[in-house]
Amino acid sequence: MEENTLPIRFNEILREEMGKLFKLKPLPLDPDFALKYPSEEDKSVCLKNELLACDKTSGIRSGAMDFAGSMLVNFGSVQPGSDYDFPVLGYTFAYSSKFLIAVLDLHPVAKDREYTEKYIAPLQAISQKYAWIPKTEGGRSEVHDWAKKYDSGCALYRWCDPQYVPNVEEAFRDYLRAFCQCIKKAEPLTDPSLRKRRDQYLEDYRYDYITYDPGSAPLQHHFGEEWGERYLKEFLFAGE
């Protein structure tokens, strides 16, 4: 008898929370990205994606992978639009009957005092609020070395028991509310040096995540290396 898998709904939570403050509008998506299976004959893995317009952002990009019910993954990326330098929202939640992996952060475009106080300081209390969620023994407890330069210092990074799904959902809502406030308070960039800083950061961010993110491995395994690379460049980590 197959073991039932508890559905996760982190992408829905993102739409719920951001939709409270911003008008979200579905944008056209390449049909090859909207819904993907390994092949016409093989429907064991399903990848569904969504692209939404949102004020001041370059778009909300989210995906959901279903590995025949044995594991469910929700993930997404929201980058600032060309006139703004608020943090990048990045998240991945992977659920199975044995574990829940949560990777969630607001990646700061800069780390000077003014930027940190404006955008990152509110995350500190949220991070501390969920520090009690216990890590699974033997599970990874910090981000990969290549990603540390993008870490806000307030990330939620957990390998934990699946019983904590409701608590991680609550944490996600808190991070999203903080992210929405970042968007609301963001003003258009008028200083060319700040715009240059933003552009260089996002160029590095996209390159590193496309090149090194371990999440690309299942994409390439199930859908092919060429398609997986194109998906990362043209959808998940694409700019405006």
Which residue type is seen at 223? F
Q: What is the rounded CA–CA span in Å between residue 163 and residue 21? A: 30
pTM of the entire structure?
0.94
Cβ neighbors of 185 (< 8 A, separation 6 or more) are 86, 118
Q: What is the rounded CA–CA span in Å between residue 28 and residue 161? A: 37
Q: What is the pLDDT of residue 6?
A: 56
Structure tokens at 156: 């939620």
Whose structure tokens read 């800083």? 197
Which residue type is seen at 214? P
- Among 136, 224, 128, 222, CA closest to 175: 128
Q: Are 35 and 219 in contact (CB under 8 A)?
A: no
Mind listing the domains of the chain with CATH numbers? 10-236 (3.40.1500.20)
Which residue type is seen at 87? P
Q: What is the mean pLDDT of each run of 10 residues along the chain (240 residues)?
A: 63 98 96 95 95 98 94 97 97 94 97 96 96 85 86 95 96 98 97 96 96 90 94 92
